[in-house]
Amino acid sequence: MDSEGFHALSEHFVVAGISGEGEHVMWLNRYVGRDRIPANMLSERLSVMYDTSGDLKGWIVRRLVERIYTTPPHPFIKRMQHPDRSTIYGYVLEHHHFLMQWVKSCAAIMSKTDEEDVQLYEIDNIISEFRGLSPSRPSHHELLLRMGESIGITRSVVYSTEPLQTTARCLNWWQRIASECHWLETMAAMHTLELTANPNIRKMGSDLTYFDPAILENDSYPEAVRNFLREGYVADASHSMDALDLIEKHCTPELEKDVQSVVYRTVSLLDDYLMSRLKRSESYGN
């Protein structure tokens, strides 16, 4: 995006802001400040915000950490430090739909790229998230279903429960990116999300990890809950960073700003999606 592109983007934001369109106003509040500034000044601010200084990977990590882990940590992350049954209930019912969409996005990336390292990465991803390596190493999706069963949610309930409206809206956007956009944008949209459970997130600027790791040794949590959390905790340590390495490796100057815009949008939707898990948790026991 050149200066003309930033100017067009700032004009778009100012017009949407003046009309009181909530999503744009909230984005401006969060990233630019509460006071309206003219489009030319906003354009300059945006160009600074999009400056990676040659470190796209670090830029993506910072966007995830600032949105989910700091100023202040997301309410779902706070709840996940010591999740109760209602939190797990909300997690299982919404995340099932997330993973069903996830595999489609990974497949879309594979169908659009000729890069062998990307295809191999996504094959590994689909196997670990959806297929499982072997009966003794089940997929993340299977572990999620078992976690649900451990608190009394049957698979038929999981499969027959529609996602909440907010979850569905997020999934529709991730599906649209996979269908309509460049495979690198799809990688950025999906694999930025995986950073959330990276156990090294504290080294990246967060005060919290996805959950208190002491849970993994705490017998008061069902074994299936600990197995699910442990799998994500271990897998996402290298997995999510590998994806960012691939994004950085294959990103061209022409694509970079589009990838960055996708990252801004995907962390915003992640915020909404995590809220949706909390919303679902309110209906536990009803």
Write out the residues near other proteins by the rule CB under 8 A.
14, 17-26, 28-29, 34-36, 71-72, 75, 166, 271-272, 275, 278-279
Closest CB 283 distance from other proteins, rounded Å? 14
Which C-beta is closer to other proteins: that of 91 or that of 183? 91
Longest dimension (CA), the chain: 59
| Nearest-approach distance from CB 92 to other proteins, in angstroms | 20
Least CB distance to other proteins at residue 168 (A)? 13
Residue closer to other proteins, measured from CB, 25 or 123 = 25
Residue with smaller CB distance to other proteins, 67 or 182: 67
- 224 in Cβ contact with 142 (< 8 Å): no
219: exposed, middle or buried (Cβ count in 10 Å: 0-12, 13-18, 19+)? exposed
Of 66 and 242, the one with the shorter C-beta distance to other proteins is 66
Contact, 227 vs 152, CB < 8 A? no
Return the half-sphere exposure (C-beta side, CA atoms, 13 A cut-off) of residue 4. Answer: 0
Q: Least distance in Å: CB of 72 to other proteins?
A: 5
**Helix (H, G, I), strand (E, B), or coil: what is residue 115?**
coil
Kindly state the smallest distance separating residue 227's Cβ from other proteins, in Å: 29
Secondary-structure percent of the chain, ordered helix, strand, coil, rounded to 5: 75, 0, 25
Q: Shortest Cβ distance from residue 153 to other proteins (Å)? A: 23
DSSP state of 65: I
Give the residue carrying structure tokens 């100057």: 253
Cβ nearer to other proteins, comparing 72 with 213: 72
C-beta separation of 80 from 207 below 8 A? no
Round the CA-based radius of gyration of the chain to a whole number and report it: 19
Our CB check for other proteins shows the closer of 256 and 271 to be: 271
